[in-house]
Every structure is written in C-alpha cells, then in structure tokens.
Amino acid sequence: MAVSRGSRRNCSANPPELLASQLVHWGRSWPTRFNPSVLRKIATVHPSSNTETIAKAQRVEARGSSAEGQFDWRHKVRRACWYVVQATIYQVPLRRADRWRCMLLRLFGAHVGRRCLVRRTAFVEIPWHLHLGDEVMLGDRVIVYSLAMITIGDRTMISQGAHLCAGDHDIDRPGRILRRIPISIGSDAWIAADAFVGPGVDIGNGVVLGARAAAFRDLPDWTVCVGVPAKPYRARLNPKNSG
C-alpha cells in the first residue's frame, strides 16, 4: 500500500498545515501514520519530542512498509515449503533446541540475533518477515502472524500464547482486501501471556503489555499497559536513568 500523493505534498507544507493534515489522515490512512518522512517533519515542528519521534521513524524504516492484496505464486510456494519444515523438523521434541530453530528461521530469511530462545510451539507465519534482536524470547504457543514485517528489539520477551498480528482486512472495501501492516516492538519490552498486538502498532522500548491485554494503538516507552484496548497504567523504571 503506497503513501498517497497528498501525503507527500503534506511533507513540504508549512508546519500548521502539516499538523492539521496529519490529524485528518491519522485515522484514515495507515501508511501516512507510519511514513518516516512525516514523522521526521513532526519532530522538526516539535523539538521537545524530537528524539522519541525520530527513534520511531527509524523503527518504521527498519520494519518495512505497508501493502495490500494477495501474495504471488512464488511467495506461496516458499511459504508451503516453510509450513512443511515448521510442522516437522522445526518441532524437535527438545525444549531447549533453540539454536536449531533459530538456524531454520535464518535459512528461510529471518534475521535472528544472538542468544535468542524460540520454543518449539512458537508459530511463525512468514520467517522472512521477522527481525529478532539479540536475546529475544518467543515463548510457547506464541503466534507471529508476520504477513508484514515484525521487528522485535533486543532483550524483549514474548510470553506464552501472545499473538502478534501484522495483517487485517479492509471491511469498507468489496472483497475485504487483505492489508499487510508492519509491527514494531522496541527493546527491553515484555509482551505478557495471551496478549494481543494488532497491525500497525508500535510498542515502545521498555513497555510491559499485561496479560491478555490488547494493543491497537502505539504504546509509549517505559510504561506498563493493561486492558482492552491497552492503555498506560503506570510508568516503568528505566534502568539507564536510575543510576
């Protein structure tokens, strides 16, 4: 799904016009919301939030762009091969065969950092749409529905039964067109048991998403978020600032 021409024009508009246009498009257009150039422009208009906004722009660029429609036949053949591997040798009945599973993910195009733990029942839909930082854990029965890029930062833990869903359907269009919308989860975060992260969501660094919570909007850095839909409950101590 490409960014509209109108959105590109907004990037060169005056600051008041840019902000007004961004607010109008915020709820209408997923790609505009996750356009790195727009994010950087907003950071320039609001210097106080410059660091956080530019960091988000970098995460968006790393995870890729949104798209829609069906996959081509080559992609489907590749996925079929992965399904066979995931249903067989991926599920070696040894709980700590993490290096073996990480190797298989890498063979199918995933970026997997150092010392990652991937449980045998962790399901990955499309491994070449997965980017794991160092020391990431995917727990038992985790669903990584990576129709679009899913990026998970260093030292982040995805607990058992959590669901990361990088796709949905446009219910306002005939045929309910498939939309593939990336997800980004920062470093030092924890997605607790049975939590849900929806398409297009940006989970900040150090976020704790509580058990069975559902995130449909971005969550700010170093917060504990609970509920459906998930909202910040309290701040979380950042160890880097505690010293």
pLDDT of residue 16: 45
Q: Give 140's Cβ-side CA count (13 Å radius).
A: 4
| Separation of alpha carbons 60 and 35, rounded Å | 8
Is the domain spanning 75-242 CATH 2.160.10.10? The answer is yes
What is the rounded CA–CA span in Å between residue 222 and residue 50? Answer: 17
Distance CA 5, CA 22 (A): 13
Task: Tell me the pLDDT tens digit for each residue of 122-160.
Answer: 999 999 999 999 999 999 999 999 999 999 999 999 999
Specify the residue for token string 């975060």: 189
Q: Where in the chain is the domain with CATH 2.160.10.10?
A: 75-242
Q: In terms of DSSP bridges, do strands 231-235 and 223-226 run parallel, antiparallel, or are they unpaired? A: antiparallel
The yes-or-no verdict on residue 102 having pLDDT over 70 is: yes
* DSSP string over 59-102: HHHHH---EESPPPHHHHHHHHHHHHHHHTGGG-S-TT-HHHHH
Residue 100 above 60 pLDDT? yes
210-239 tens-digit pLDDT: 999 999 999 999 999 999 999 999 999 888
Q: How far apart are CA 4 and CA 227, in angstroms?
A: 34
Closest CA relative to residue 220, chosen from 29, 52, 44, 38 = 52
Q: Do residues 104 and 84 touch, judged by C-beta distance below 8 A?
A: no
Instruction: Give mean pLDDT, residues 87-106.
Output: 91
> Residue 91 carries which DSSP code?
G
**Distance, CA of 118 to CA of 101 (rounded, Å):** 7
Interval 105-116 mean pLDDT: 96
Determine how β-strand 196-197 pairs with β-strand 214-215: parallel
Phi-psi map region of 72: left, alpha, beta (phi>0 left; psi -120 to 50 alpha): beta
Instruction: Check residues 45 and 127 and name the one with the higher pLDDT.
Output: 127
Tokens of 142: 């985790």
pLDDT value, residue 73:
82
Confidence (pLDDT) at 172: 86
CA distances 242 to 105, 220, 238, Å, are: 37, 18, 6
- Range in 56-70, 79-93, 97-111 with the lowest mean pLDDT: 56-70
Instruction: Give the separation between CA 15 and CA 42, rounded to whole angstroms.
Output: 8
CB 45 within 8 A of CB 18: yes
Q: Are 129 and 166 in contact (CB under 8 A)?
A: yes
Question: Mean pLDDT across the stretch 55-67?
Answer: 54
Using alpha carbons, list the distances in angstroms from residue 115 to 184, 186, 235.
20, 17, 29
Q: Is the dihedral of CA 70, 72, 73, 75 positive or negative?
A: negative
* pLDDT single digits (tens) 5-44: 444 444 444 444 444 444 434 434 434 344 444 444 444 4
Identity of the residue numbered 152: I
pTM above 0.75, yes or no: no
Instruction: Quote the pLDDT of residue 243.
Output: 59
Q: Is 166 helix (H, G, I), strand (E, B) or coil?
A: coil
Q: Residue 74: is its pLDDT beyond 90?
A: no
